[in-house]
Structures are given as structure tokens and as C-alpha cells.
Amino acid sequence: MFLAMRAEVEDALEEALTSLDFPTDDLGIETPPDDVDAVLASSVAYRLAGEAGMAPPQVAGTVADEIDETALTYIETVETQGPYLNFLPSEQYFAETLDTAQSDTYGQLSDRETSVVIEHTSANPTGPVHVGRARNPIVGDALARVLEYAGYDVDRHYYVNDAGRQIAVFTWAYETFEESELPEPERDAAEYEMVRYYRKGNSYLEEADDEAVEAAEAEIQTILQGLEDGDEETYERVGEVVDTVLGGMRETLERLPAEFDEFVKETRFMRDGSTDEVVDRLKELDEAVYEEDAWQLDFEDIEKNLVFLRADGTSLYTTRDLAHHEWKFDNYDEAVTVLGEDHKLQAEQLKETLELLGHDTDRLSTVHYSWVNLPEGGMSTREGTGVMLDDLLDESIDRAREEVEDRLGERIRDDELTEEDIERIAHQVGIGAVRYDVVSKQPTKGITFEWERALDFEAQSAPYVQYVHARACGILDEASAAGHEIPTGEAVDADALTEPEAEDLLRSIAAFPAVIEEAADERRPHIVATYTRDFAEAFNTFYRECPVLDADEKTRQARLALVAAAQTTIANALDAIGVAAPESM
């Protein structure tokens, strides 16, 4: 309803300005502060003051007079308050919100008929997922969900770096060392078992005598060359290592949950000839230079050259990524990539090169996040330093379980939680808290990992918002048990919501689709997380001030509809950022 109302306000304002011969390039539409009753406002009068030769408040008055309120559906009146034009909502605005927000699909915007591929995580398949890179799947998955809500047709891809040196080292190490030489795995899972070979191989290369290292390097080089030459047996050897490790990583990621439609292997673009083919085209570009036996691109705006073909004639990661992105452009309308800030330069060069190859790079957007570091420094799979995501999730679930159990004695509600309920809540809250903590912050800000902070269940965290959902479900359950019907359609009576706390909640409900739209357009899922927090506040205030079940018939009906609308809104808002919405807790 908010979106329709906003469109109406824009049209009306533009029309009024046109008929007054004022420019319409900046309508100055903004959200008014909380203590103003309007749903939207405009500060356009400031900008027009000079041209009109009047003070801003007078301009505002003139514009307001020009707007025909009777022609508006969702706006009752247009008032001025000093230089501001305030648009006050009509009864219909509230009534329609109260009805439509009860739909299970509330917040789902109309189909944009646009396909988007979102590539995220894409961590090298060398070992267990650690917290340093955990921002990627969480932000990536949340963004994918937000884009789906916003009406895009979304595919999630994990780009598998299976052609690099580290994978050749891994394959060599896996085939060379005996399990008896390795330490016990930290967990009974494929990637924890496998990473031991990788670490062993790397330390061997650092510590063994020159002759032994030379022999190992020769074997590693053979593997790399085998991949480059398209040798089937080499692909199978490497594939076994990659698929095994990836299988384990995938299970961890699914706990978040972060699932993928496709794991796209880098070697695919070597085998199908598209990397060679893109190299041929790159050589033809005006920016292509052949220096020191290697083919490079010399950009106008970027300091550093991009080498796309080594002196030995082999391709590089970015060369293959170019073929990968051309493939994305062939198959999707838009492409979004979630990358660490250490890949910024590479991403710029990629984009610039795609532009040179004649692609419309407006179709490509990149979301960067900064690494999560430990107080003592960065996390490394190779060195085995860092906090594993599995351990963080386990610990968070354990703490959530303790919280639930501690609270059992004080529970007023007599819904008798079963063991299963406790386990369900522990998972929903524990994982939700980790996820929420990550999505609610702007990804560009640095995070230093501290257990205590990561596991903080206090306000402004997932449980605070989840509790709102549980409370709403509790009321709806009681209502259902008492045989109260929840009014929909013509039966809803938004007029009966006279308390300001109830109206504020309804306004907050109405804003949800616009929040989804903004978060999707700007590729910033944290906007949805901020919204859930504000929404929870509005709900809790309403909860305190406005009893539902004990209210008189008419009020109860209206408030029940409001609670039902609040429940679907917060359930979907949490769903959009991938946080579970518990029905009780």
C-alpha cells in the first residue's frame, strides 16, 4: 500500500508543480519524523523559494493549495507545517494495509521478469568454513532472498576455484601423504579430514629440503599443466579432492542456511574452450599490450595492468573469470557478486575488461564486505588459525538451549514446551542470532570476532525480533482457541484502531514492501534487518498498551487483524534475511 500511496503522492506533487510552472526534477519526497502524523512529506518548498520569490512556507502553502485532495485515494489531506508539505493517510490506506498485510505473500513484490544470478561465498575448497569468511554466505544468501521478495528470478551460484595452484598442491598432498602421518581431524566431517593433507602439504613445501621440494613442485606443475591441457585423468584426480572437500563445506553452509542452485567450476571454462576464446578477443583490443612475454591489458583509468596470458601461454584466474562472466551474461539479465574487500581491484579490472569486450556492465554489481578478523589477526585455512563456523554455530545453539531451559521455570504461558520444542527454539535462536548479527551491520565495516559479542542475545539481536513473532503467534493461538474469527476483506475495520500505538504499528506494517524494494535496489539486505528492529519496537509498544483478547468486540476484531498482519509481516521480513521465525519461544 505504501508503494501505491507513494506513487500517488509523486504524481500529485508533480502535477501541482507543473501547473505552477515549477521544475519537477526534485520532488523532495522524504519520510517525516515520528512525531509528525504524515506518511510522506516533501521539502520541495526550500528549493523553489528562490525561483518563486517567496519564503519556503508560503511556497509550501501555494503548492498544497494546488493539489486536489479529493482525487487521491490513499491520501486524506495535504497540510503544511512551515516549509514542509505533509501528506496524511486516508482510511482506505489503513484499511487496505490491514487486509493485504495478512496475506502469506505480503512483501512479495510483483514479478520483474528479470533473472539474476547471485554468486556468493565461492571460497576455495581447501578446508572447513571459518568465521573470517562467514559474512559472505550470510550476506549473499540474505541478498538472494531479498531479491526474490523484490520479484526477481534468482539463481544462487558458488563459483568453485578448482584450477588454481592451491588445488594442485592439495591434490598432490592427498595422493602423497599417508593418513597415519596426520593428526586427528578436528571433526568427523569430510573437509576436516581432508584439510589435514592440505596443511601437511604446505608445511612440507616450506620445511623439506630443496631436492624434495623440487620433486614435489614438479608433480604440482604436472597437475596444473594437465588441467591446462584438458587431460581427463587429471580432472578426475583434482575433482575427487575438490568434490570431497566441497561436500563437507556445503553441509556447514546449509546450516546457516545457505543453499546453492549450482556449483560452477572454474575448470568448466577451460574445458569448453571459452577461456581460449576470450583470450583471442582480448588480444584484439586496443588496450592489449605484449610486454615481458605476457599478454596484458593497459587500462586508462586503472593503474595496474591486467595480465591475461602468462609467458608460458597459460590462463589466469581473472581470464577464466572473464569467460565465467560472459557465460553469466548469456544466461541471466543481471549478475550480482558478493566479494571480500581484498578482491576490489580484481573486480574493477574484471568490470572494466567486460566493458571493453562490449558488455553492458550496468548488469553487473558487486557487494563488498570486509573480513572478520580475530583480535590477534586474520584467519587462515592453510595455517589452521581461526574459529570454525561449525564451532560458532554449535556454541550459539548450546547457549540458546541454556537460555530456554533457564527460562522454563519463569514462563507464564502454559503451552508446555516439549523436548522437541526446546531443541527447535535453540536452533532457531542460536543460528538466527549469528546470522542476524552479521546481516544487520553494513558489510563494509570491519568486524573483530569476539565470542562474547557474537553470542549476545540481548536486545537488537535476533531473539528480540523473533520474540515479537512468537508473541503475535501466541495471541493468534489464544484467539483461535476462544473461537474468535480474524476479519479480512470488507470485514476489517481499521477505524477501530484508535490508539496511537496501534496506528504506528499499522504504519510500520505498511512500509514493509518499500523496505524490500529499497534493500533489493541498493543490494543492501541490512536495511531489512534495521527494519525488523524498528518493527519489533513498534509491536512491543502496541503489545504493552493495547490488550487484544480482553478488548471489546469491535476493538478486539480490529486488533486481531492487526496482530495477524504484524505476524505475516515480521515472519516475511525475517524470512527475507534468512532468520527463522519461531511460533513459540
Q: List the interface residues with RNA, window 302-361 (CB under 7 A).
A: 303-305, 307, 310-312, 316-318, 341-346
Q: Per rule CB under 7 A, is residue 142 in the interface with RNA?
A: no
Binder among 178, 184, 286, 292 for RNA (CB under 7 A):
292
How far apart CA 457 and CA 429 sit, in angstroms, is 9
* 366, amino acid identity: T
Cis omega before residue 57 (within 30°)?
Answer: no
Instruction: Give me the least distance between CB of 454 and RNA, in Å please.
Output: 10
Q: Per rule CB under 7 A, is residue 526 in the interface with RNA?
A: yes
* 583, amino acid identity: E
Instruction: Give me the least distance between CB of 183 and RNA, in Å please.
Output: 25
User: Hey, what's the cell of 284?
Assistant: 584484439
How far apart CA 162 and CA 264 sit, in angstroms, is 10
Which x/- pattern over 199-238 shows residues binding RNA (rule: CB under 7 A)? ----------------------------------------
Number of residues that bind RNA (CB under 7 A): 96
Which parts of 469-498 interact with RNA (CB under 7 A)? 470-471, 473-475, 478
* 352, amino acid identity: E
User: Cα–Cα distances in Å, from 261 out to 157, 243, 474?
Assistant: 6, 16, 36
How far apart CA 571 and CA 582 sit, in angstroms, is 9
User: Hey, what's the cell of 506?
Assistant: 499499522
Q: What is the distance in angstroms between the CA of the first residue and the CA of the last residue of the chain?
A: 31
Describe the crossing of helices 165-176 and 210-229 by its angle, rounded to 10 degrees.
120
Instruction: Give me the least distance between CB of 297 and RNA, in Å please.
Output: 11
Q: What is the DSSP string of 155-222?
A: EEEEEE--SSHHHHHHHHHHHHS-GGGSPPPSSSSHHHHHHHHHHHHHHHHHHS-HHHHHHHHHHHHH
Which parts of 563-582 interact with RNA (CB under 7 A)? none
How far apart CA 455 and CA 435 sit, in angstroms, is 11
Instruction: Give me the least distance between CB of 47 and RNA, in Å please.
Output: 5
Instruction: Give me the least distance between CB of 241 and RNA, in Å please.
Output: 14
Instruction: Give me the least distance between CB of 401 and RNA, in Å please.
Output: 9
Binder among 62, 77, 81, 385 for RNA (CB under 7 A):
81
Binder among 10, 14, 28, 153 for RNA (CB under 7 A):
28
Q: Per rule CB under 7 A, is residue 52 in the interface with RNA?
A: no
Which x/- pattern over 159-188 shows residues binding RNA (rule: CB under 7 A)? --x-xxxx----------------------
Binder among 370, 385, 486, 499 for RNA (CB under 7 A):
370
Which parts of 118-137 interact with RNA (CB under 7 A)? 124
Which parts of 404-463 interact with RNA (CB under 7 A)? 404, 407, 410-413, 425, 429, 440-442, 444-447, 453, 456-460, 463
Stretch that binds RNA, among 100-108, 233-241, 368-376, 505-513 (CB under 7 A): 368-376
Q: Are 105 and 164 in contact (CB under 8 A)?
A: no
**CB-count exposure of residue 157 (10 Å: 0-12, 13-18, 19+):** buried
Binder among 464, 492, 506, 581 for RNA (CB under 7 A):
464
Q: Per rule CB under 7 A, is residue 271 in the interface with RNA?
A: no
Binder among 12, 86, 132, 525 for RNA (CB under 7 A):
86
